[in-house]
Structure 1
Amino acid sequence: MSELDLGYANHLAEQILLICSLLGGFSITIVANLLVSLKNSKLYNSILAMSVLAAGFFLTAVFSMTKLLLMTTKGYPRKLIKDDLISVRIVGSTSFLIGIIALLTVISLAGWTKSKKLGYFTTCIGAVTLVLVFYSM
């Protein structure tokens, strides 16, 4: 893994922090809606599980990126050790990617709650989005 300039790492952490906050909030909203729902099927339970997974990993990424943001900000009170930056960056980035995959799984499964036709459509959209997300990284 290559070393990042501290200024670049700071801006990167800030952007990922913003994205994870929004997507984590969205995932938590899905969880809350499914918890009050009266529907109880394997599909709804799978969507609930993937939403909880996404929310958990996005929250982990939020805290990791917050720590990275603080560590790379000028005036950080402790001595900066590069290995600490790498481990925080790995945890944050991995959590971010797992959160994206889980949320795209929720999107892919959502259509199946209504019909087969909509299920195929949302699954295709989820798969294409996953490919495009990984291609853009």
Structure 2
Amino acid sequence: MTELSFDYWNKLAGQFIVISSLLGGFSLSVIIPLIEAKSDSKIMNYVFRSVVIATASFLISIFAMTKILMVTSQGFPFKVSSSALSFPRIVGFASFIVGLLAIIAVLSLSGWLRSHSMKRFTIIVGLLTLLLIFAMIV
């Protein structure tokens, strides 16, 4: 497998930070209305849990990628090897994927709170989103 340069990891980490920040902010902004909804339905609980998981996952991804960004930046005071990037890289990417899956779950479950036709629509949109995102990743 080809080893990626530190410059590439630096730019990639910056992109992950921006995307994770936007998606994490979106997830966080959904939590407050869900708390105020005062609904105890099973679906609402699943949506709430998914939003919390998404928010936490994107926060973890932000901090993991920030570590990569810091250690791969020019002028970092310590010597860094490629193996030092393994843990934050795995944690950052895995938490990003978990966050994406959780947001797609929220998207898919949101129609279940409305009507039967909305339920179908949001599940189809969620599945298409999942397929297209993973088609772009692979």
TM-score band, normalised by shorter chain: over 0.9
SS in structure 1 of the partner of residue 76 of structure 2: coil
Q: Distance in 2 between matches of 1:91 and 1:37?
A: 33
Q: Distance in 2 between matches of 1:31 and 1:2?
A: 41
Matched, 1:106 2:106: yes
**Deviation >4 Å, runs of 4+:** none
**What residue ranges of structure 2 are gaps of 5+ in the alignment?**
none
Relative distance call for 1:2 and 1:35 in structure 2 (3 A) is farther
SS in structure 2 of the partner of residue 4 of structure 1: coil
Q: Distance in 2 between matches of 1:121 and 1:10?
A: 39
Q: How does 1:55-70 map onto structure 2 within 5 Å?
A: 55-70=55-70
Letter paired with 2:31: V
Number of residues paired by the alignment?
Answer: 137
Q: Distance in 2 between matches of 1:60 and 1:100?
A: 13
- Identify the residue that residue 136 of structure 2 maps to in structure 1: 136
SS in structure 1 of the partner of residue 28 of structure 2: helix
Relative distance call for 1:28 and 1:20 in structure 2 (3 A) is same
* Alignment TM-score, normalising by the size of structure 2: 0.96
Shift of 1:55: 0.5
Q: Distance in 2 between matches of 1:103 and 1:84?
A: 30
Per-residue Cα deviation, 1:50-107 (whole angstroms, up to 9, x for no partner): 0000001000000001111111100111210221112111110000001000000000
Q: How does 1:36-47 map onto structure 2 within 5 Å?
A: 36-47=36-47
Q: Distance in 2 between matches of 1:36 and 1:84?
A: 43
Identity %: 40
Output the aligned Cα RMSD: 1.0
Matched, 1:90 2:90: yes
Shift of 1:36: 1.3
Shift of 1:2: 4.4
Q: Distance in 1 between matches of 2:3 and 2:97?
A: 20
* Alignment TM-score, normalising by the size of structure 1: 0.96
